[in-house]
Chain A
Amino acid sequence: AQSVSQHNHHVILSEAASLELGCNYSYGGTVNLFWYVQYPGQHLQLLLKYFSGDPLVKGIKGFEAEFIKSKFSFNLRKPSVQWSDTAEYFCAVEAGNMLTFGGGTRLMVKP
């Protein structure tokens, strides 16, 4: 079974700082990759997804992620965070019909 690891459980940044959240997975076959975001008190929403093609994927709200197959990684980045980016971020890997989530990274952006 696949597993997904998110290295940072909590990240605190000031506005305008750059963001990179790590995500690694263990699965040898073909996967689809996702980042979801959960704003306080809300349900999860899709930020971006990768199925194939260009390994640099752009999502909503200025987020992007890069798939590095050799490293089994799918890190999320944003050049300049805003206070409204305060949320919990989840990496997810799909293999077959199962979508497995990482443990999440709670991001707090200080104004």
Chain B
Amino acid sequence: NAGVTQTPKFRVLKTGQSMTLLCAQDMNHEYMYWYRQDPGMGLRLIHYSVGEGTTAKGEVPDGYNVSRLKKQNFLLGLESAAPSQTSVYFCASRLNGELFFGEGSRLTVL
């Protein structure tokens, strides 16, 4: 039972490049979330999903897209990376109000 797994863990991009972060959970949870963590700003919700095939915008969705084609996977995409998207990204799944986090993906955009 791996819990929540994020790949890749580290990535460096150039401005304008695209990439996808993958989040996989093996706990059969319906709800999944993508957050970004920046110093002094806590975690800010980017997008979330309440079940397979559904997605919704969070607090800071601009510049990101998501897909939830399979219940266990929640993908976060950056179509055209910008330096402001340099951050640590956390995926989480939820059960009974508790979030279960992945270990994070550190993204640097040059």
Contacts and interface: CB of A to CB of B under 8 A. Distances in A.
Contacts of B29: none
Interface residues of A, number: 24
Contact of A43 (B45, B48, B56, B102): B102
A34 B44 contact: no
- Chain A interface mostly: strand
B33 interface: yes
Contacts of B43: 44, 90, 101
Nearest to A46: B98
B45 A49 contact: no
Given A97-B31, A98-B58, A99-B33, A9 B42 contact: no
B97 A49 contact: yes
A1 B50 contact: no
B50 A97 contact: yes
Contacts of B103: 42-43
Interface string A77-101: 0000000000000100010011111
Given A1-B59, A97-B48, A9 B99 contact: no
Nearest to A97: B50
A99 B41 contact: no
Interface residues on B, range: 20 to 34
A103 B41 contact: yes
Nearest to B38: A103
A34 B35 CA distance: 16
Nearest to A104: B42
A30 to B, nearest CB: 13
Interface of B: 31, 33, 35, 40-45, 48, 50, 56, 58-59, 90, 92, 94, 97-99, 101-104
Given A46-B98, A99-B94, 20 more contacts: A4-B42, A32-B97, A36-B99, A42-B103, A43-B90, A43-B101, A43-B102, A43-B104, A49-B97, A51-B97, A90-B43, A94-B97, A97-B48, A98-B58, A99-B45, A100-B45, A101-B35, A101-B42, A101-B43, A102-B42
